[in-house]
């Protein structure tokens, strides 16, 4: 069941009515039933996967919580079992493809990846590790834990939530609150705007550019770079807005996943603002354990002996960063493109970290680095760097550099008005709608600063609130891209 469909609209509207009509102590039970019904929409057999994760993690966590000294072997059993399921389902064909190239064979498997398996697996493993470290006791009620794993909005595109943050939210008794419901509906409408008006309109055009690099070269490389980033952000952030807004209508707050990433002045800052729940998970459960691991400490000792104390101190940080970004790349997709993309991000940020002293001296020497125009330059530079790095996701390694050289050579003389623009399938009205929509997103980010636009709207006069929301509704209704039966194209991040 897609979030952008008549089915989901009817499903969620009916759920919300029943949710606030039944005795409040049964609300979480209704959410569990609704979550399993939602997940079964893709095929009842796929319920077996989140159920297997739920039962295995609940049993192991209960046992760990009861131990005076939690067993590391038992923790590893839970991690290997559940990450093993994820690896088999998501990466078997990737492994077979590499073996086929070496052996000249043609083996593959045909199973379908369950919805959101990476999200609920990472979320459940975070819970298991927290219980092992004694951050909180294991949840004694299997059904309550099942709701934490399978709460239906987050199954589509995250965010990756923490049990200690979600426990009170999921199991509290929620009364209907008009302000909260209104705000949640606004958030959902914003998500539909990003998805239907921007993402689903620009997606096919970007796909056409990416699929034919020999046709769309020169300035089209830049158009593809920028378009891919806009497409991915509007699609992913739109899905998150719908998810968080739906949960908010039900009285449940979930962690945010974006914090104006395109206002970042460095790549490291960008990744602190983009897909925040995943990056926080990787930082807590991968970076710190990897940096303090026995391997890292031994490597640090060797580096200190061979290259000096300074290099030895940096070795654990380098190892941890490489591990994080290798996993981040593999998490995003079962292909070498994503592995290279992750490592490319890591290399750029490590080089930037090494040049911190140079940047500091540069800023001290030149006063203009404190002015607004220079900060804007840093923001634009970071945005273009991110767009360029995204090319590793959809082009082979050497093709990225070839296309970059082609762009640099032909940008001054190349033109978008050479007839190829018509091959992208967008009419003038589509380009106009995209331009206005993207400008609205940029303007809303500038005007709201660090505060969400919904908070600004709530402080506005009532007539202005209704006018803004009604205008957004009309924009979605009139300019949205609709498929058959209101079934828009699947969210990019659903596959994870």
Segment 152-187, tens digit of pLDDT? 998 878 899 999 999 989 999 999 998 899 889 999
Tens of pLDDT, residue by residue over 51-105, are 999 999 999 999 999 998 999 999 999 999 999 999 999 998 888 888 988 888 8
Angle at CA of residue 122, ends 140 and 331, nearest 5° = 170
Residues 357 and 370: their CA atoms lie apart, in Å, by 17
Please state, in angstroms and as integers, the Cα–Cα distance from residue 470 to each residue in 47, 242, 249, 463, 475, following that order. 38, 17, 18, 10, 9
Q: What is the pLDDT at residue 493?
A: 55
Confidence of residue 484 (pLDDT cuts 50, 70, 90): very low
Cα–Cα dist 65/43, whole Å: 34
Q: Pull the structure tokens for residue 166.
A: 């979600």
Mean pLDDT of 314-330: 94
Give mean pLDDT, residues 273-285: 94
Q: What are phi and psi of 391, to 5 degrees?
A: -60, -25
Active site residues: 332
DSSP lists the bridge partners of residue 274 as 258
What is the radius of gyration, based on Cα positions, of the chain?
24
Range in 44-58, 102-116, 355-369 the model is least confident about: 102-116
Report whether the peptide linkage leading into residue 159 is cis, meaning its omega lies within 30 degrees of zero. yes
Name the residue with higher pLDDT: 418 or 10: 10
When mean pLDDT is compared across 28-32, 178-182, 282-286, 411-415, the lowest value belongs to 411-415
User: What residue spans define the domains of the chain?
Assistant: 21-173, 180-495
Region 376-388: mean pLDDT is: 95
Residues paired with residue 95 on neighbouring β-strands, in sequence order: none
pLDDT reported for residue 449: 58
Q: Across-strand partners of 258?
A: 274
Please spell the DSSP secondary structure of 376-426, one letter per residue. HHHHHHHHHHHHHHHHHHHS-HHHHHHHHHHHHHHTTT--STTTGGGGG--
Check whether 426 has a pLDDT greater than 90.
no
Give the global pTM.
0.89
With a CB cutoff of 8 Å and minimum separation 6, the contacts of 132 are 64, 70, 72, 75
Q: Assign 44 a pLDDT band (cuts: 50, 70, 90).
A: confident
Q: What is the pLDDT of residue 77?
A: 96
Average pLDDT score, the chain: 88
> In this structure, what are the phi and psi dihedrals at residue 426, rounded to the nearest 5 degrees?
-110, 135
The pLDDT assigned to 290 comes to 94
- Cβ contacts of 262 within 8 Å, gap of 6 or more: 233, 379, 383, 442, 445
Three-state secondary structure call for residue 258: strand
Enter the DSSP assignment of 489: P
| DSSP SS3 for 274 | strand
Cα–Cα distances in Å, from 149 out to 56, 246, 407?
12, 17, 46
φ/ψ region of 346 (left if φ > 0, alpha if ψ in -120 to 50, else beta) reads: alpha
Nearest to 187 by CA among 241, 134, 108: 241
Q: Which two tokens stand for residue 459?
A: 């402080």
- CB distance 223 to 411 below 8 Å: no
CB 100 within 8 A of CB 107: yes
Question: Would you state the pLDDT for residue 491?
Answer: 60
Cα 4 to the chain's mean position, in Å? 18
Residue 451 pLDDT: 54
Half-sphere exposure of 344 (CA within 13 A, CB side): 20
In which band, very low, low, confident or very high, does the pLDDT at 486 lie, cut at 50, 70 and 90? very low
**Per-residue pLDDT reduced to its tens digit, 408-424:** 887 766 677 777 888 88
pLDDT, position 141: 96
pLDDT classification of 485: cutoffs 50, 70, 90: very low
- Report which listed range, 36-45, 107-116, 249-258, 301-310, is most confident: 249-258
Residue 124 pLDDT more than 90? yes
Q: What is the pLDDT of residues 301-310, one digit of tens each?
A: 988 888 888 8
Which residues lie closer than 8 Å to 39 by C-beta, 6 or more apart? Answer: 46, 47, 50, 115, 150, 152, 155
Q: What's the pLDDT band for 475 if we cut at 50, 70, 90?
A: confident
């Amino acid at each position: 069941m897609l979030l952008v469909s008549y089915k989901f609209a009817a499903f969620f509207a009916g759920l919300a009515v029943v949710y606030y009509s039944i005795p409040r102590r049964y609300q979480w039970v209704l959410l569990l039933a609704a979550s399993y019904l939602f997940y079964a929409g893709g095929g009842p057999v796929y319920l077996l996967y989140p159920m297997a994760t739920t039962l295995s993690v609940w049993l192991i966590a209960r046992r760990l919580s009861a131990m005076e000294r939690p067993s590391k072997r038992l923790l590893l059993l839970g991690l290997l079992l559940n990450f093993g399921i994820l690896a088999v389902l998501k990466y078997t064909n990737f492994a077979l493809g590499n073996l086929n190239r070496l052996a000249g064979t043609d083996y593959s498997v045909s199973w379908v990846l369950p919805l959101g398996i990476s999200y609920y697996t990472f979320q459940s493993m975070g819970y298991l590790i927290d219980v092992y470290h004694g951050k909180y006791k294991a949840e004694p009620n299997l059904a309550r834990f099942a709701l934490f794993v399978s709460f239906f909005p987050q199954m589509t595109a995250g965010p990756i939530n923490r049990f200690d943050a979600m426990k009170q939210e999921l199991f509290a008794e929620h009364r209907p609150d008009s302000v909260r419901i209104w705000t949640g509906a606004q958030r959902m409408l914003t998500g539909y705007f990003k998805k239907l008006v921007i993402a689903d309109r620009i997606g096919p055009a970007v796909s056409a550019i990416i699929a034919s690099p020999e046709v769309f070269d020169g300035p089209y490389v830049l158009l593809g770079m920028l378009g891919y980033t806009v497409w991915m952000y509007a699609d992913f952030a739109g899905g998150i807005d719908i998810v968080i807004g739906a949960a908010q209508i039900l009285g449940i707050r979930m962690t945010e996943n974006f914090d104006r990433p395109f206002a970042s002045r460095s790549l490291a800052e960008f990744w602190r603002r983009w897909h925040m729940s995943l990056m926080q998970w990787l930082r807590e459960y991968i970076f710190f354990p990897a940096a303090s691991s026995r391997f890292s400490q031994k490597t640090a000792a060797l580096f200190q002996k061979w290259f000096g104390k300074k290099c030895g101190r940096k070795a654990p940080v380098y190892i941890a960063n490489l591990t994080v970004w290798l996993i981040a790349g593999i998490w995003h997709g079962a292909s070498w493109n994503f592995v290279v993309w992750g490592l490319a991000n890591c290399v750029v940020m490590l080089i930037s970290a090494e040049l911190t002293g140079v940047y500091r001296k540069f800023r001290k020497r030149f006063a203009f680095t404190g002015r607004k125009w220079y900060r804007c330059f840093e923001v634009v530079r970071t945005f273009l760097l991110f767009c360029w790095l995204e090319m590793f996701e959809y082009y082979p390694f050497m093709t990225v550099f070839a296309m970059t050289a082609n762009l640099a050579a032909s940008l001054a003389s190349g033109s978008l008005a050479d007839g190829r623009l018509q091959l992208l399938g967008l009419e003038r009205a589509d380009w106009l709608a995209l331009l206005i929509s993207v400008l609205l997103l940029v303007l809303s980010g500038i005007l709201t600063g660090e505060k969400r636009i919904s908070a600004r709207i709530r402080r506005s006069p009532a007539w202005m609130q209704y006018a803004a929301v009604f205008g957004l509704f009309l924009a979605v209704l009139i300019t949205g891209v609709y498929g058959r039966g209101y079934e828009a194209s699947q969210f990019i991040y659903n596959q994870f």
